[in-house]
Amino acid sequence: MWDAFGFEFVNFYFIPGLVLGCIYALGAIGITLTFGILRFANFAHGEIMMSGAYLTWTMMAIAGAAGLALHPLVAMVPATFIVILLFLGTDRWFYKPFRKEDTIKVVMASFGMMLIIRSAVQVIWGPNQLTFVPGIARPNATLQQITGDLGAMIIMPNKHIFIFAGTVIIVIALSYLLNRTRIGKAMRAVSDSPDLAHVTGIDVDRVIRATWIVGGICAMAAGVFLAMDIQMLETTMGFRMLLPMFAAAILGGIGKPYGAVFGGLVIGLAEELSAYPWIGDAPLLSPGYKTGVAFAIMVIMLIVRPQGLFKGRSF
C-alpha cells in the first residue's frame, strides 16, 4: 500500500516525532499552568522531571531487591507522591516568600532550584547513566503483523504504545479536571484573572497547591516516558527538555493546557521531521541541530504572535 519512502517516513520520523511530542506536551502542561496561575517561568520544571525518573528508578531497584520486577509505569506511582511533595516543598520554602514581590525574584529562585535539584541528584545517584531496562526494545509483533497484512507496516516498540496511551489518558483526565470539577474551574479562573478570582472567594492558595500537584503528575509522567524512550537516565536530560517545553508553552499560548499539548506535538514533530531528507538525499537539517528547531519556532512566535496560537496571555 505504501512505498519504501512512506514506510521510512512514518516509522523513523513521524512516530518518533509524535512520541517526543507527547513527552514535550506533558512537560509543557506543567509549565503553562505555573506560568498562567503563578505567573512565572519555572526553570526547575525540567529538573523535577529528571528527578522523577530517578526516583522511579530507585523504586524499581528497591522492588528488584525484594525479587519483584516492576514495570517503570507501576514504579512511577509511589514516586509521583515524592515528586509532588518535592514540588510543594519547593513552593513552600523557596517560591512562596516572593509571592508578593516582583515575579522576576521567583524566576531567579527557580533558576537556583534548577541547579540545587540537579546537583542533589548528582550527589545522590552519581553522574553515571542509568537505565530502567537494558537491551534493545523489540517492535510490537502483533501490531507489525496486522499492519503488515494491511500493507502499511508500522514498527513500534511497546514503550511507544505505552507513551501514547499514557499521554492520551492523562490529557483526558486533565480535561475532565479542568472542565468538570470545582478545583479545575477555579484553576482556570485564577489563570484568567487572579484578582477577580480572589474577590469571588476562590481560595488562591488551594488553587496553587492543585497546580503543583497537576504539574507534578504531568512532569513525573513526562520524565518517566522520556527515560523509557531514550532508555537511559542522565542528569542533564531535564535541562535539555526545558527549552522545547517553553517553546511548546509559548506556541500554544501561556495558560492554555490544550495549547501546550498542541504546541508540544508540533515541536516534537518539527524536531524529528527537520532531519527528514525533504530535498535530495541529505537531511534537511543536520540532526545535531534538532534542539535549535524548537528555539527557532519560539523566536518566530515571540516576534509574530507572543500570545501564542490559542490566544494565551502575553506579558
Partner 1 sequence: MEAYLGYGLYILSLLTVGGIYAIFALGLNVQWGFAGLFNVGIVGFAAVGAYSYALLTTAESTFHLGGFGLPLPLGMAVAMVASAFIAGLIGLICIRLRSDYLAIATIGIAEIIKLILKNESDITNGPRGINKIPRTWEHFSEERFYSSWPMSWFGTPENWDAFFDSLPNWYWQPLFAGTILLVVYVIYRMLERARMSPWGRMMTAIRENESAARASGKNVTRRRIEAFVIGAAIMGLAGALFAQHLRLIEPTQTFDSAKVTFLVWVMLIAGGSGNNKGAILGAFLIWTIWSASELIIGGAINLIGAIFTTMDASILQTRAGFLRMMLIGILMQVILQRYPGGILPEVRPASPKADTKVAGTTGETK
| Residue numbers at the binding site for partner 1 (CB under 8 A) | 35, 40-41, 43, 94, 97-98, 103-105, 107-109, 111-113, 115-116, 118-120, 122-123, 126-127, 242-243, 246, 250, 286, 288-289, 291-292, 295, 298-299, 302-303, 306, 314-315
C-alpha cell, 220: 513525573
The answer to whether 240 and 67 are in contact (CB under 8 A) is no
Long-range contacts of 158-163 (CB under 8 A, 24+ apart): 159/228, 159/229, 160/15, 160/19, 160/229, 162/73, 162/225, 162/228, 163/19, 163/22, 163/23, 163/225, 163/228, 163/229
Q: State residue 313 phi and psi, 5-degree precision.
A: -85, 145
Q: Nearest distance from residue 175's CB to partner 1, in Å?
A: 26
Closest CB to partner 1 among 108 and 143? 108
The answer to whether 113 and 90 are in contact (CB under 8 A) is yes
Measured between alpha carbons, how far is 44 from 212 in angstroms, rounded to an integer?
12
Closest CB to partner 1 among 20 and 70? 20
Q: Which of 77, 47, 95, 40 is nearest to 221 (CA)?
A: 77
Measured between alpha carbons, how far is 299 from 68 in angstroms, rounded to an integer?
48
Closest CB to partner 1 among 143 and 296? 296
Chain centroid to CA 232: how far? 16
C-alpha cell, 125: 545517584
The answer to whether 31 and 267 are in contact (CB under 8 A) is no
Closest CB to partner 1 among 153 and 250? 250
Q: Nearest distance from residue 242's CB to partner 1, in Å?
A: 7
User: E-strand spans in the chain?
Assistant: none
Q: Nearest distance from residue 225's CB to partner 1, in Å?
A: 22
Q: Nearest distance from residue 305's CB to partner 1, in Å?
A: 12
Q: Nearest distance from residue 42's CB to partner 1, in Å?
A: 10
Closest CB to partner 1 among 31 and 70? 31
Closest CB to partner 1 among 184 and 259? 259
Closest CB to partner 1 among 61 and 152? 61
Q: Nearest distance from residue 107's CB to partner 1, in Å?
A: 6
Q: Nearest distance from residue 48's CB to partner 1, in Å?
A: 15
